[in-house]
Structure formats: C-alpha cells, structure tokens
Amino acid sequence: MSESSKPNTYRLLQQSHTNMPMGVADSYRYWGENNTVFIKSCEGCTITDADDQKYVDFRLAYGPIILGYRDTRIDQAVIKVITERGTISGFSTDLDSEVVELVRQMCPNIEKMRFANSGTEAVLGAVRTARGYTSRNKIVLVEGGFHGLYDEMMWKPDMDNWDAGSGLAPEIRSFGAGIPEASRKHLETVPLNSFEAIDAVFAKVGDDIAAILIEPILGNCGSIASSQEYMQKLRDMCDANGSLLIMDEVKSGFRVAKGGAQELYGIKADLTTYAKAMGNGYPVAAFGGRADVMAVINLDKNGVTHGGTYTANMIALSAAKATLTILNETNVFETINKVGADIQQVLSRVFTKHGIAHKFAGPNSMFGIHFGNIVPTNYRDWKQTNSTLYTEFAMNLIKHGVMLEPDSREPWFICESHRSVDLAWLEEIAERAMAEAIATKQ
C-alpha cells in the first residue's frame, strides 16, 4: 500500500498515528505501515476498505460473524430493543433467562450461566469460579491456546526462539511489558495431546489444580485439535482429582456444531466460555456449566463475585437471542460445513497443482491450513510447518481480494453468507496467489 495506491487508507493511518499508539485501536490490527487495513463497510461475507477495494472475508473479525455481516434478522432485533425498550438499566430483564434457556437447549453442558462482554471477561469469570469452587489455585493451560488479554492469560510459549531439536520445552514468556511475574505463579503449561506431560503436572501439583483450561480445538493455533483420547483423559484426570475441566469455546462455540466442540467430542466440561458467534458480531459473552459449580457465585463471605455495569445489556442479549434462535432452528451448521468443505477442496487442488504438501486441521467451519506432511498435533508440531510460505500466500490473496489473517495460526472462518462465494473465482485467485508466492521464493 502506498499513498498513490491506497490514498484514503494512507491518510487515515497518518491521522490515526496522531491519535493512538501504533495508529490502531487494537495492537493486532497494526499490520505495518504498508498493510494496515481501514474498513469502510461490511456486508454479507464481504468487507470494503477505505479505498473501495472489496474483499471476500475469511477472517470475519476473528470469528464472531457466523451468519454474515449486517444480517437484518439480527440488526432488526437489536433496533427494536433499543428503540422500544432501551440499552441498559442496571437491572434484570426477561432477556436474561430467555438467552440462557436458548443456550441450554443447544448445549447440554450448561445448567446455569452468567453473561460477560468479551471472551476475556468470560474466561476471567470461569477461572475465578473454578478457584472459588475448588479452593485451589493452579490452572493448567495448553501451549498454543489463547484465552484473552488479562494478565494471567498473557503468558505463552516463545515458539519463535524455540529450538525443536533441543529436547526442552519452549520458554514461557509474557505478551510484553506490564504483566507482573506474579501473575504466572499459578499457571502450568503443557503441550496438547501429551499424556506424559499432563500426568507429570498432576503428579507435581495435582492437589492444588483448580482447573484445566483448554480450547478443545485450538482456534488460535491453526485449529489443531485435541484427540478424542486426550480429551477423555483430561475429563478423567479432572474427575479423579477433584479439578474442573473448563473448555474455552469462545471461538468454537455456536460455530463448529450447535453444541460446540463438546457435541463433537461427546464430552462435557464443568465450565464453558462462549462469545464470538453467539451474537453474530455484537459484543456478548458468557460462561456457565454445572449448577453446583455455578452456585459458588453468591454474596456469602466465601462466594465468588461476578457482574459489571454492561453485563447482560439489552443490545447484546437481543443480538444473542436472535442469533441463537436462527442457529437453533435453521440449517446454518449444515451450510457452513458444506461451504467449508468445498473451499478446502478448491484450495487443495491449487496446492497439489503446485506440489505443496498440505494438511487441513479442525472442523470445516473453522479450518486451519498447514504446509507440510503431517497434521500438527500440537503447537510444537506447528513450528515444523512452512508458515512462511503460508504468510506469502495469504498476503497475495489479500492483494487480490480475499481477506484472511496472514498467519497460519489463525483459521479460516466460514459464515452462512459464504454460500454465495464463486468457487471458480476463488480457485483462480488462490492459483495466482500461490504462483506468486512460489515465484518470490525463487
């Protein structure tokens, strides 16, 4: 991007540099001086940038869009609520229970639930509830998982500097400055799908493990998934040890199946977090699970405190009610699974034609692409894939009108509106993007 190729984007970035650190409202939106995107409008499965380039979007705002942008079925429900009833009052409304009951119909793992405004807040609530219930401290995390931007969840394996041949685990580092060392005191991190590692952690500190917190399908690590056996192992370990299993379904919930990843595995968590697809882009989140665990949220001296000014506001809940009703009553999941499978076929043909070994990971509505010969089983395996080629390929796709995150750790997200995508067009663009990526390397 340059002043001449994208004059409006260029001007907006210069202006925003005078107003915000890095010129963006979220640090991950900064893609450098040449690639940072400013969006003018969104519709269906497309977004249009400030210079009127239109993209078919597979990033979908990191996952929340499940039906399509500006879906009138949701927007009209929200407009009705705000014009006829209001936004917040600081009191309860009938919508609170209506939305919980919809979630309970779709997700048998939920007996009681509370709302939040973001995935981060939902995770914070679930973790605090697990600690309150168990009177224990430790939380076991999985390498490559992401659980939001609050201090305790902002520790991650330093994959960039990890030497795969060292035989050592990657070093755990903070996401940057301002995160106190003390915030990692109660964390234990294990690689996904390693029975040995989870056994070792339970042997070491089992009597203080409040919960295992896991994204069953790593929505922030190329949709690498827990094996069925590993998920069952975690369930059994938690049961035997009096620890709780928290599944973070902020990305997978209401996306990979009506009942989320738990429906696919047939294994229930004790507590679950939701956000993203729950409101088709409106900011709504929740956590919930076993009634006896959630009962620890009370005003007793030893109870867990939860709430907040904007919790269960009517904008969020009217959007959730409308979105969940559609997801529950229509065939959205069939549609997005079919479209996701078709798109993988298209991409696979292109990669094969260019002799690129590749594997897809995760469900069709949220799939990861890995250049290499194996489906990675954890974050350490991901390091062996050709993520540089992926980024080249992705940047070329973006140039030609297909939006996605240029990092193979972020999956492709499918929404109902993608059923209108012209697959022949997509194949042609993917073909060009891969040819250019290969040419750059030579």
Ligand X SMILES: Cc1ncc(COP(=O)(O)O)c(C=O)c1O
**Which residues contact ligand X (rule: CB under 6 A)?**
62, 118-120, 123, 146-148, 215, 219-220, 248, 250-251, 275
What is the closest distance, in whole angstroms, from the C-beta atom of residue 307 to ligand X in the complex?
17
What is the closest distance, in whole angstroms, from the C-beta atom of residue 149 to ligand X in the complex?
6
Contact assessment for residue 65 and residue 47, using Cβ atoms and an 8 Å cutoff:
no
Which backbone phi and psi does 132 adopt, to 5 degrees? -60, -40
- Comparing CB distances to ligand X, the nearer of 120 and 129 is 120
User: What gap in Å lies between CA 154 and CA 148, rounded to an integer?
Assistant: 7
Chain residue whose CB lies nearest ligand X = 119
Q: Which pair of tokens denotes residue 7?
A: 């004059």
What is the closest distance, in whole angstroms, from the C-beta atom of residue 311 to ligand X in the complex?
14
- Residue 25 C-alpha from the chain's centroid: 19
187-190 — which CB contacts under 8 Å span 24+ positions? 187/138, 187/139, 187/140, 187/141, 187/152, 187/155, 188/138, 188/139, 188/140, 188/141, 189/140, 189/141, 189/142, 189/143, 189/155, 189/157, 190/140, 190/141, 190/142, 190/143
- Comparing CB distances to ligand X, the nearer of 145 and 376 is 145
What is the closest distance, in whole angstroms, from the C-beta atom of residue 117 to ligand X in the complex?
8
H or E segment to which residue 39 belongs = strand 39-43
For residue 170, give the DSSP letter.
P
- Comparing CB distances to ligand X, the nearer of 146 and 393 is 146
C-alpha dist (Å) from residue 9 to 13, 39, 50, 117? 6, 9, 6, 30
- Comparing CB distances to ligand X, the nearer of 50 and 218 is 218
What is the closest distance, in whole angstroms, from the C-beta atom of residue 429 to ligand X in the complex?
26
What is the closest distance, in whole angstroms, from the C-beta atom of residue 42 to ligand X in the complex?
18
- Comparing CB distances to ligand X, the nearer of 123 and 343 is 123
User: What gap in Å lies between CA 109 and CA 267, rounded to an integer?
Assistant: 9
- Comparing CB distances to ligand X, the nearer of 62 and 202 is 62
What is the closest distance, in whole angstroms, from the C-beta atom of residue 215 to ligand X in the complex?
5
- Comparing CB distances to ligand X, the nearer of 123 and 271 is 123
Which backbone phi and psi does 135 adopt, to 5 degrees? 55, 35
